[in-house]
Every structure is written in C-alpha cells, then in structure tokens.
Amino acid sequence: MKHSSILLRTQGLTILVLLAAALLSCGKKEEAAAPAPGASSAAAPAPPPLQPGSSSSLTRSKTEAFYNFDSLGPVSYPAAQKTITLPGDSEISVSGWALDASKKGPAGAVDVVLDGNPFSANYGLDRTDVAAHFNRPDYTKSGFQLLLARGQFTKGSHGVSIRVISSDKKSYSEGPVVQFTVN
C-alpha cells in the first residue's frame, strides 16, 4: 500500500510537471518589436502645406501688435528666451493668441513670418483663457497656430515673427523677430 501510494504521487507529480511545461510553452507568441522611443505605431498625417500670408500686400501699421507668442515647438514663451534650439527632424508648432489693438476686438488674421516670408496661420482657435482674462467673450476665438512639417527648416539660424492683421484687413502690426537655431 505504501509502495502504490508513492507510485501514485510520483505519477501525479510527473503529470503536473508535464502539464505545467505544456501550458508554459503553449500560447507563447513572439512579441512584435517595440517602436523606437518617440515613434508611434501609426504614422501621423503631415501638416498641410504652408499657405502664403496675406500681409505682404498690406500696409504696416505704427500700432504695436497685441498678441502673445505662446510657443515655438516645445519652447514656451519664445520671445522671452535667450537662446532657442529646435530639432529639425520633428514637427514644429507656432502658437499663441492675437487681437486687433486699434479696433479693440478680434484680429482679421495672423501671419507667421519665417525667415522674412509670411505664411497664413490658422486663426480663430478657442482661447477661453484670453476671453476670461480680458472679460471679453468676443476674444474667445483669438487663438492661432501654424504647423511646420519635419524638415521644414535647414540646419542653422532662422527668425520668426508674428503679424497681426487688422480686422478690416487693410494693415498689419508686427512683433519683434525671435531668433532660433535648428540642429
């Protein structure tokens, strides 16, 4: 009886080991290679092509531009930075808000000037923070953004400025040029 009990335990233990081995080897799938850091599994659509700005045919106003340059790529408040270096292999967003100071209302449009060439920004984006700050609901759609594709800039020094186009679209005010380097 003792001998048969040991035999049953040994057979039971053998079956458990074989079963465990089978379970561990079954269903094991090769894992797909993880994407490189910063890469996504699905390719993001490229930004739309840059559209020429409308300010080049307008008169420059002596009125100071009323805007805030929130970001240049990952850099917040670029006008306040001493040096800015951006990677050339990533998408760059230029964003902020702008208002027509002479009319005390929303601007007519915004151009982002890159290396002396004006490009039309997407103007009219929601900026409830600006409307709340000035207690002016009509300032809600004062945001702007321009998306620049990877490789848009060559390596080296570049300049960017913001042109706020008047609400009547007859003139523009321009802020100072912010210098940056692409590596």
Amino acid code (one letter) for 174:
E
CA-derived radius of gyration, the chain: 30
Q: Would you mind telling me the total number of residues written for the chain in this entry?
A: 183
For residue 78, the SS3 value is helix
- Whether residue 29 is contained in a domain is answered as no
Q: What's 122's domain CATH number?
A: 2.60.40.10
Rounded to 5 degrees, φ, ψ at 150 are -55, 140
Is 41 inside a domain boundary?
no
Count of domains in the chain? Answer: 1
User: 78-95: per-residue pLDDT in tens?
Assistant: 999 999 999 988 899 999
The domain containing residue 70 runs over which residues?
Answer: 55-182
Q: Which amino acid is at 178?
A: V
| pTM listed for this prediction | 0.74
Question: What distances in angstroms separate CA 157 from CA 37, 85, 152, one per listed residue?
Answer: 27, 9, 13
Domain membership flag for residue 33? no
The string of pLDDT tens digits covering residues 125-179 is 999 999 999 999 999 999 999 999 988 888 999 999 999 999 999 999 999 999 9
pLDDT of 5-52, one tens digit each?
443 343 443 443 333 333 334 443 343 444 444 444 455 677 778 899
3-state helix, strand, coil in the chain (%, to 5): 20, 35, 45
Average pLDDT over residues 63-69: 95
The verdict on residue 35 lying in a domain is no
Residue 15 lies in a domain: no
Residue 32 lies in a domain: no
